[in-house]
């Protein structure tokens, strides 16, 4: 059960203390008090854990300071939306807003290879007024003989250049919790020129110890990628490890599912699940057309399959797009075949914005024409 408090009742308020007292008066019920950044307001929620099945909702709904008492429908209680009963989670980070109403394109290098390429990438972003990017320092590779990323060695110049080109947030995967400290220290040494969205890759979607670590820190928000070979419910439960640690600043990313049925794409594009994840969870949703499609295929209309896949996710309400670019994809040390060229950035972003507008128009149309017909 989740007890949503009125906005004026903070975690230390007497009203919250009373809810906790009442909850604990029932046998085998524990409580956790959480401060949540909702889409439009900051809220305190009290989670009731343990034998809560028989607890009367009214006992809490009638308590002073309580806005609503909600019966939890899914096991992933902190990120779950529980049949629409709780509001979307959103957050501000380094001047950027992430929530069910926001939209960002994180275009950048799959893996950082050279300082020159990072600079060219960031310069191209700045020319278009973009302040969000991706830059992989720690790369989880299928083969131990493949380039593993430059790791901490590249962080000083990545952050220095981020500052130089006004990048507000860099999505960066980590594969081990010690890398959190490396990123924290490098940012500090560089004078905090940018923010970092910590990425949990699909291969670590069920690395529960790593998830606990990123959940127990509050410095960085987290981009959680769906596991490529597990069910959606398993991915959502894995993602809950981050929230249950106390960090609710999470974006859930779809990146395609591993199956040969996806051929000729690298993965089976799963962007029809954007509205599904939004219905099941309170999280903003990202799509990654690069790792889904995985190669540069040109459709008959002249657009790339990557554009079409991205459009499918955006037109269904995606809040963020993670996409690979590279100045010279043939020389890229990781995932070159799926990287778009810097001279294609303007088109990709303009196309994405066009589709985003179409999504907003579709929602408005639905509200107008479907009113009362449901």
For the segment 81-110, give every residue that binds ligand PEP (CB under 6 A): 110
Q: Quick one: what does residue 82 bind among Mn ion, ligand PEP, none, with the CB cut-off 5 to 8 Å set by partner type?
A: none
Site string for ligand PEP, 148-187 (x = CB under 6 A): -------------------------x--------------
Closest distance of CB 165 from ligand PEP, Å: 21
Closest distance of CB 186 from ligand PEP, Å: 19
110 binds Mn ion (CB under 5 A): yes
Geometric angle at alpha carbon 370, from 364 and 374, rounded to 5°: 135
Closest distance of CB 37 from Mn ion, Å: 30
| Tokens matching residue 110 | 């799959």
Q: Quick one: what does residue 202 bind among Mn ion, ligand PEP, none, with the CB cut-off 5 to 8 Å set by partner type?
A: ligand PEP
127 CB contacts (<8 Å, ≥6 apart)?
none
Torsion sign (Cα): 320, 326, 329, 331: negative
How many residues of this chain bind ligand PEP (CB under 6 A)?
10
Separate counts of helices (H) and strands (E) for the chain: 11, 14
Give the torsion through C-alpha atoms of 233, 80, 89, 291, to 10 deg: 10
How many residues of this chain bind Mn ion (CB under 5 A)?
2
Q: How far is CA 361 from the centre of its chain?
A: 24
Residue 261: Cβ-neighbour burial (10 angstroms; 0-12, 13-18, 19+): exposed
Closest distance of CB 201 from ligand PEP, Å: 3
Residue 3 vs 110, nearer CB to ligand PEP: 110
Residue nearest to ligand PEP (CB): 201
Torsion sign (Cα): 275, 135, 173, 102: negative
Strands 195-200 and 222-225: parallel
Residue 134 vs 282, nearer CB to ligand PEP: 134
Q: Quick one: what does residue 282 bind among ligand PEP, Mn ion, none, with the CB cut-off 5 to 8 Å set by partner type?
A: none
Q: How far is CA 44 from the centre of its chain?
A: 22
Q: Tokens 């809810």 appear where?
A: 19
* Contacting residue, 99, 108, 195, 201, with ligand PEP by CB under 6 A: 201
Closest distance of CB 137 from Mn ion, Å: 12
Closest distance of CB 338 from ligand PEP, Å: 10
Contact yes or no for 322/290 (Cβ under 8 A): yes
326 binds ligand PEP (CB under 6 A): no
Residue 307 vs 326, nearer CB to Mn ion: 326
Q: Quick one: what does residue 225 bind among Mn ion, ligand PEP, none, with the CB cut-off 5 to 8 Å set by partner type?
A: ligand PEP
265 binds ligand PEP (CB under 6 A): no
d(CA 325, CA 279): 31
For the segment 322-351, give every residue that binds Mn ion (CB under 5 A): 335
Contact yes or no for 76/281 (Cβ under 8 A): yes
C-alpha separations of 164 from 118, 122, 186, 315 in Å: 12, 9, 15, 33
* Contacting residue, 150, 225, 265, 307, with ligand PEP by CB under 6 A: 225
Residues in contact with Mn ion by the rule CB under 5 A:
110, 335
Residues in contact with ligand PEP by the rule CB under 6 A:
110, 136, 173, 201-203, 225, 255, 288, 291
């Amino acid at each position: 059960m989740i007890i949503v408090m009125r906005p004026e009742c903070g975690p230390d308020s007497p009203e919250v203390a009373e809810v906790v007292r009442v909850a604990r008066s029932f046998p085998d019920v524990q409580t956790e008090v959480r401060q949540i950044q909702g889409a439009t307001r900051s809220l305190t929620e009290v989670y009731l854990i343990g034998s809560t099945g028989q607890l009367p909702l009214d006992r809490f709904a009638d308590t002073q300071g309580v806005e609503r008492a909600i019966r939890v429908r899914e096991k992933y209680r902190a990120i779950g939306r529980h049949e629409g009963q709780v509001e979307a989670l959103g957050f501000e980070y380094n001047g950027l807003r992430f929530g069910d109403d926001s939209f960002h394109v994180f275009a950048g290098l799959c893996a950082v290879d050279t300082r020159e390429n990072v600079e060219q990438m960031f310069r191209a972003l700045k020319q278009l007024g973009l302040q969000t990017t991706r830059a992989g320092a720690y790369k989880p590779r299928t083969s131990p003989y493949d380039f593993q990323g430059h790791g901490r060695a590249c962080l000083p110049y990545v952050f220095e250049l981020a500052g130089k080109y006004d990048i507000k947030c860099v999505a960066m995967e980590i594969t081990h919790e010690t890398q959190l400290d490396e990123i924290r220290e490098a940012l500090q040494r560089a004078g905090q020129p940018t923010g970092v969205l910590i990425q949990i890759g699909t291969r670590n979607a069920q690395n529960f110890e790593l998830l606990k670590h990123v959940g127990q820190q509050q410095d960085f928000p987290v981009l959680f990628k769906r596991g490529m070979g597990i069910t959606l419910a398993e991915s959502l439960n894995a993602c809950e490890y981050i929230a249950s640690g106390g960090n609710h600043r999470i974006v859930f990313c779809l990146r395609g599912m591993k199956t040969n049925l996806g051929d000729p794409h690298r993965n089976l594009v799963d962007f029809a699940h954007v509205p599904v994840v939004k219905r099941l969870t309170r999280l903003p949703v990202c799509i990654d057309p690069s790792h889904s499609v995985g190669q540069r295929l040109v459709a008959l209309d002249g657009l790339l399959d990557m554009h079409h896949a991205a459009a499918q996710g955006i037109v269904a309400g995606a809040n963020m797009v993670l996409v690979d670019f590279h100045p010279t994809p043939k020389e890229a040390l990781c995932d070159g075949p799926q990287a778009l060229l810097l001279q294609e950035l303007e088109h990709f972003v303009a196309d994405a914005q066009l589709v985003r507008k179409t999504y907003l128009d579709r929602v408005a149309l639905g509200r107008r024409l479907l009113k009362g017909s449901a």
